[in-house]
Structure 1
Amino acid sequence: MKQICLLVLTIFLSNSAIAQKRADEEALHSNPKLVVGVVVDQMRYDYITRFYSKFGDGGFKRLVGKGFNFKNAHFNYIPTYTGPGHASVHTGATPESHGIIGNNWYNKFERESVYCAGDDSVEPVGTTSSAGKMSPHRMLTTTFADENRLHTQLKGKTIGVALKDRGSILPAGHAANAAYWFHGQVEGKWITSSYYRNDLPQWVKDFNASGKADSYFKTWEPLHDISTYTESGSDANEYEGGFRGQETAAFPYNLKDLSAKNGGYEIIKATPFGNSLTLDFALAAIDGEDLGQDEITDVLTLSFSSTDYVGHNFGVNSKEIEDTYLRLDQDIKRLLDALDEKVGKGNYTVFLTSDHGGVHVPSYLESVKIPAGYFDFGDYISSVEDFLLKRFGVDDIILNVSNNQLFFDYEKLLAEDISFEEVEEAIAHYSLQYEMINKVYTRSQLEATTFTRGMDALIDMGYHQKRSGDVILVLDPSVISYSRTGSTHGSGQNYDTHAPLILFGNGINQGSSAERVSITDIAPTISTLLGIPFPNGATGEPLLMAIEK
């Protein structure tokens, strides 16, 4: 009897040790079969709260109700553009480290403007257009997807999908199996580049031949009775751009009839149907690449770009924006339902965020007596050049002005024996007297000082010593250099930095927080969840309240 008791005790202790070991392993890391990183281009945080009552139960409401909702997540740098945004979300770093300082920027060494994803060393695949000459080579750091590839000995797949090339390429990272983007114009195809592979896989060829893109040449009209769209302004107003070939920027829009004057397939990208087409392709990618079908974690980076096109065209207060988000809500439901079916409930993790927000149309703000305006960079540049000529007796000191930054001609300054510091100080003092310029920063300031709060810190975190300019300008709040219709972005004001951040699924707690967090915290959080190294330039911290059990 005593021996039996000892045997039972031994078995019990052995089972307890096994159970504890499993618990320790689960505490160390989670193991979703698939991580889906969703970026909604130009999505302000308040779109969730503003349209919440109109959403269905299976899309945004499911994410918020069953996931962890960070209500006070911000981008912690300037400029808030698409390229830097997508890079920062997935690297956990800011432009200071990852080097994507804009969508385009002036390369002072080559004396030419470069595109964040452009790469003349690769060949287009799926098209003969230069739209396929793209890669992530200008991004200097890894993404969490790169680290997952390294950690799994390249067994975990990574696929990037977006209408925009930069929205697909930068999130997927350097070691991705493939990134695909949509080439519109007269082709209407999903393409890639030789950076990833030399031919399109059969599933992509089949999708391109399916006629799915053509099916969206239809009439865009409100999803619901437009009189119920009470969360946005009037349908026809002077603050919206609209499409060429239609007199008013008001529903309905016959895309087939308007396509000839609006870039052919490009018009689909500028409607909510571009998001639906993106999801169609992403679901085909899950099937075609067998994502989430084994125990080794795969990554799908998915960016919905059409929200940005609609926002730029119609503005953040438009009926078109409201309709776009109500339709996106349906696509989010379609995504989650498909993941439930294809990967299995509890087997995947999703995060949803944005790459930047967007400003209310300044001309609309002016109409309701809120300070706003439009800055003319052409006039400013002419004025500064006249000032420099009078002050130093030399013209063409400034080589380039882009992304609110001035780049000097160092060779000319050296040849004319003009002090660099004297020029930057003179421009800074002059610019601060200029209407609608709020702050000015110089290279000397940023290289000598580490800022820790406010706009100063945002400039600092977005400043890359080799790639950024010599003088940086910050405009007044709600002042933009843009057309008088539609919205844009790029500043460090809350309307551009405040973004949604929701985590959902495997390894994620249910809840919410109003604590201020940074978008750069996403990649370290997913890395912690997976038990993999942080991206090599990451400065964010894991959001433990969302993943600690």
Structure 2
Amino acid sequence: MNHYIKSIVFLLTIGFTSCFPKKEEKTTNPTKPKLVIGIVVDQMRYDYLTRFEKKYGDGGFKRLLKNGFSLENAHFNYIPTYTAVGHTSVFTGTTPSHHGIIGNNWYDKFEKKSIYCVDDNNYKTVGNEGNGGKKSPYRMLTTTVTDQLKLAQNMQGKTIGIGIKDRSAILPAGHTANGAYWFDGGSKGQWISSSFYMDALPKWVADFNNSGVADEYLKQPWETLYDISTYTESIADDNNYENTFKGEEKPTFPHDIPNLRSKNNNYSIIKAIPAGNSLTTDFAKAAIIGENLGKGEFTDFLTLSYSSTDYVGHQFGVDSKEIQDTYLRFDKELESLLLFLDKQVGKDNYTIFLTADHAAVQVPSYLQSVKIPANYLSSGKLLNYVNSITKQYFNSEDFIENISNFQIFLNKENIEKKKLSVEKVAEVINENIINYKGIYKSVTAKTLQRTEFNKGILNHLQNGYNQKFSGDVLLIPNPSTIIYSKKGSTHGSGYSYDTHVPIIFYGNGITKGSSKKHYEIIDIAPTVSNLLEIEFPNGSSGKIVDEIFK
């Protein structure tokens, strides 16, 4: 009888519950990754993914794209698109208007001098007796996703920052990192750090420095990975748009690195060849093993910046055989790193995002050769023109304190001595500078404070404007117009060639797919924060990319 009653109750229960819709199952990832790796490729245009696709192997970019989630229409949403600004914006989830890093170098209107984003004389070099380690992230005013992870875990878990460039190692790792390491070139050839993080290098770093790896890479000439005749996606190797290494007659393959080394600042040459990326991968693997990343109870974070791509792009330009070879070799680096992570951390235990800190313009002199509008500006001539404006209207040529990063800083003391309004002087310059050939738009700081630009390039300018640190008049040059040498390439604008970069998520918690929706670089940090179920960085202004989640 008891069995019969139980059966009736069971059937009634089924009938009762079937009257109601099923509760939607929660789709969040049940286990968080043990290790997050944030990869920033310095000066990577989005079209490097598509342009060189046929020559990539299956284990690098293609593996990430096939098994991860790619944002195909992702952009930076501010000006200027420089290295320090890019790395900071990726990890803080906000723009220079909030995080305060407005350039690599910028004119400090309080100290009356040009400053470097991570210089800090309160600390000393750890690793050698040089000055390369007098650094810290103190100029970055907001937290990073790496900081938020440490806070959420009650300061447990490890954060390690790695990059050949100091700013690329320091800023992503945040204020609470266990360590940040960068490569000290010249005669040193060592990975170093700052006393901001530690008093002495860990044994694994010292062992790596003593291993002679850097020297081994510099014993080999830089030759193309594949037959150079197959590099049909790039322009002729011998052209007039590329810079040579010191000691070279032509900017062509092969580059005799062993013999060029002494004329190109010794160990520093490794930064400007693909071997610099290989050295970075080697050091990252040593860090993962040495720090036991991904092995503990808490989630660890490795920020990893590949900078040789930027040095090569600056020297040879985005259409060169050198940049193509650098990316084909970098594809191999990615494959090596992914296989290492599979074995060392476990396939299901890590999450990666890969992006860039900015893209780059095609060499303007090359664009001119194919009849595309492009130009060069002279910083000296620009300063003379601005002085001519103040001379004409105010009979003074000492109103300009500094012009840099397409920003004009006014000398407020000299203006006030003439009993003039700073705002009035700025407005007169603004109205007249637009007549200068190559300047497309000009906006005063006051306009940016009083007007909200919701879209377009003026919105980018506004997002990059910081009321406390930025200049009094901000300029936008014409497309493909730069202040730079006529050989090699650069970046910094708000145009798509500088803003359009890859964003790929891969690994634990990430679904497969792609999106053509417009996303911004500041969306990465809140998205990773959501994956880790932690608070967003405290200045975050991005949104969650919910398409990427399983």
Q: Same fold (TM over 0.5)?
A: yes
Q: Which stretch has the larger CA shift, 374-383 or 485-494?
A: 374-383
**Structure 1 residue aligned with 2:457:** 455
2: CA distance between counterparts of 1:257 and 1:303? Answer: 28
**Structure 2 residue aligned with 1:484:** 486
Letter in 2 for 1:542: I
Shift of 1:381: 0.4
CA contact (8 A) 1:29 1:531 kept: no
Note the alpha carbon deviations across 1:479-531, whole angstroms, 9 max, x for none: 00000000100000000000000000000010001111001000000000000
1: CA distance between counterparts of 2:446 and 2:289? Answer: 53
**Structure 2 residue aligned with 1:392:** 394
Shift of 1:256: 1.4
**Structure 2 residue aligned with 1:2:** 2
CA contact (8 A) 2:157 2:296 kept: no
Shift of 1:289: 0.4
2: CA distance between counterparts of 1:376 and 1:286? Answer: 46
Shift of 1:321: 0.3
**Structure 1 residue aligned with 2:271:** 269
Shift of 1:391: 1.6
1:278 aligns with 2:280: yes
2: CA distance between counterparts of 1:395 and 1:429? Answer: 17
- 5+ long unaligned stretches in structure 2: 15-21
Aligned residue for 2:28, secondary structure, equals: helix
**Structure 2 residue aligned with 1:220:** 222
**Structure 1 residue aligned with 2:205:** 204
1: CA distance between counterparts of 2:402 and 2:303? Answer: 34
Aligned residue for 2:313, secondary structure, equals: helix
Letter in 1 for 2:365: S
- 5+ long unaligned stretches in structure 1: 14-19
CA contact (8 A) 1:272 1:324 kept: yes
**Structure 2 residue aligned with 1:354:** 356
2: CA distance between counterparts of 1:263 and 1:229? Answer: 30
Shift of 1:386: 2.4
1: CA distance between counterparts of 2:234 and 2:222? Answer: 17
Flag the 1:205–1:6 CA change in 2: closer, same or farther, 3 A: farther
Note the alpha carbon deviations across 1:354-376, whole angstroms, 9 max, x for none: 00000000000000000001011
Letter in 2 for 1:135: S
Within a 5 Å distance, the mapping from 1:347-386 to structure 2 comes to 347-386=349-388
1:111 aligns with 2:112: yes
1: CA distance between counterparts of 2:3 and 2:487? Answer: 86
Shift of 1:344: 0.3
1: CA distance between counterparts of 2:397 and 2:519? Answer: 46
Flag the 1:248–1:6 CA change in 2: closer, same or farther, 3 A: farther
**Structure 1 residue aligned with 2:35:** 34
Shift of 1:65: 0.5
Q: Give the superposed CA RMSD.
A: 1.8
Note the alpha carbon deviations across 1:177-200, whole angstroms, 9 max, x for none: 000000000010000000000100
1:45 aligns with 2:46: yes
Aligned length: 538
**Structure 1 residue aligned with 2:19:** none
2: CA distance between counterparts of 1:441 and 1:390? Answer: 20
CA contact (8 A) 2:29 2:509 kept: no
**Structure 1 residue aligned with 2:122:** 121
Within a 5 Å distance, the mapping from 1:52-451 to structure 2 comes to 52-217=53-218, 218-451=220-453
Query: Which contiguous aligned blocks of 4+ residues in structure 1 show a shift greater than 4 angstroms?
Result: 3-9
2: CA distance between counterparts of 1:30 and 1:122? Answer: 39
**Structure 2 residue aligned with 1:496:** 498
Aligned residue for 1:528, secondary structure, equals: helix
Flag the 1:5–1:114 CA change in 2: closer, same or farther, 3 A: farther
1: CA distance between counterparts of 2:38 and 2:513? Answer: 19
2: CA distance between counterparts of 1:503 and 1:347? Answer: 14
Flag the 1:302–1:5 CA change in 2: closer, same or farther, 3 A: farther
CA contact (8 A) 1:78 1:462 kept: yes
2: CA distance between counterparts of 1:187 and 1:362? Answer: 36
Identify the match of residue 541 of structure 1 among 533, 540, 543: 543
2: CA distance between counterparts of 1:483 and 1:3? Answer: 90
**Structure 2 residue aligned with 1:17:** none
Aligned residue for 2:205, secondary structure, equals: helix
2: CA distance between counterparts of 1:333 and 1:510? Answer: 18
**Structure 2 residue aligned with 1:16:** none
Shift of 1:4: 11
Note the alpha carbon deviations across 1:308-346, whole angstroms, 9 max, x for none: 000000000000000000000000001100110011011
Aligned residue for 2:485, secondary structure, equals: coil
Shift of 1:281: 0.2
Shift of 1:377: 1.4
1: CA distance between counterparts of 2:390 and 2:417? Answer: 16
